[in-house]
Structure 1
Amino acid sequence: MAGDEKRFKAAFDSLHSLAYFAPEVDAALTGIGLRPGRMPYFAGRSAAMGPVGPEVVAATFYNFNPEVVARVIPRAWTLATPEQVLEARFDGVDKALTRLLGDHVKSDEVAEAAELAREASAGCTAEGRPLYAAHAGLGWPGEPHLVLWHALTLLREHRGDGHIAALVLNGLSGVEALVTHVATGLGFTTATAKLTRGWSDEQWAAAEAGLADRGLLDADGALTEEGVAVRDRVETATEAASQAPWRHLGPEKLARLEELGRGLSRRVVEAGAFPEGVFAKRRS
């Protein structure tokens, strides 16, 4: 099922990730008092865990510079409660999906995708997955497009928690995970990774030096044979830890969910869900 899971991620990741780019979500979160910039992202994604400190947010988000997290958390909780943040986030997603999908937001395809994604999420388990568990403890929304988005959030955070476990198992810190991911050439550029995750040139260079000392990067910053092997082990472990929802759903329903996801993802991308040049493959 690993290949099926990868295809699912490719089909559906945009439908979840649009929440981090949609102006409606940002407006909803700043509208309740959060400051523009990074605060809506960190508070919006972590609010399900309650008014946690920056250490918890940095640990569960993993590849962000903890110093950057600490600039907005816990201050965010003095401006809006986690409950207010969660309500605003769903309100923003509702408006964003309604804009991007138009009349199709009430279609049979959205309702079917929501039902299948929710069924898949029922196969997830909470042990060792704090960010998934927090979101799984929230109540389900009523509208099918929001059910779909919430189910995709559960599936994405379930996979993300498993990915972090794989990174820890293979001895990669948050910044080292990001550096080695960039070195694969499959996602961020170095400049984008530093900017979006908040790492300074000095911190990045120190991580590269440490990885080179361990034999994972060569003198040009490329992955060595051992570096490639480590990244391969991370991906294999992540896939193995992410299979429960797809086994629960079964191959036929998964194929149908993938088909629906590709169509819906194409709609939101073509409707302008992401700024030009944004590539939604951000896992590290």
Structure 2
Amino acid sequence: MKKVFYIFIALSVLCLSGFGVYKGIETKAQIGLYNKPIEIVNGQDILPYKEKTPKVAIIDTGIDLTNKFLSESNISQKSLNLISSSSQQLHGTMVSGILVGDGNGKSQPGGLIPNSEIVSIQAGTDMGLSSKDLAEAINVAIEKNCKIINISLATKKNTDVLKTAVEKALSKGIIIVASAGNEGESENFYPAAYEGVIGVGSIDLKGNIMGTPNLNNIDIFAPGKDILTTTVSEAGKGLFEGSSAATPIVTAAFTTFLSMYPELSAEELKEAVIANASEKESDGTRYKVLNLQKVINEGEKVFKE
């Protein structure tokens, strides 16, 4: 009986390793968000967006608030468990730097929405978390009145408790942006695979799809190759890649657009961002890449009339 119990626990845990990779900075050129990644998403003169924005939840591991590139950030933390050591803060710290890092965005981690209020909900560790904890974290984000939820991780398990939490958030007009993974072209990853959730895939600096993700889980792609962000290392910075890194870039785009047009519904926001993505094709596969400039331009035409 104990053996069966352990197997069940193993199957119900979310693994983070397939969604984002920390590479360090020793042998790689530094690619700040304000350079190539912003060019790819056509965010020049838009990002970083420095106005006040709606509250954003990051559901992940904890965040190392002692990082020197997060010292000016407006981050509050809520933990669902007692684990809070720095070894359990790597993944969440990397995600947060892409959103609200206060470096120069070139040789230092600079966030895309640096003045945003972030609610960090630590639902697990760098080894993973359960679908039950993920569902609880979504409910906490609802209670905290977050308008957008960033989830840079996923599970293969479609559980009732997770689906119910996602549906509750969506029914309240909350936008959920979730990583769809880097591998597993025939597998579904949740919550990205749920209807209404924005599933995110990653592209390299040439605009090519990274890995072999399930395209049915992906609504939009964004840069996810060698992204300079905050870490728990002594240097405080390092390179991050994969759909975990691409997801907060899409979250930043939704946050920016919602800030400009707060009267829009979640469905109107989703339609505007997805419909105005750039159409790409590679090896016979068509896919959409975030195009923030086009979204803003179309918004000015449609929503300011």
State the TM-score, normalized to the length of structure 1: 0.29
Structure showing the higher helix proportion among its residues: 1
State the TM-score, normalized to the length of structure 2: 0.28
Larger radius of gyration: 1
RCO greater where, 1 or 2, for CA within 8 Å and sep 6 or more? 1
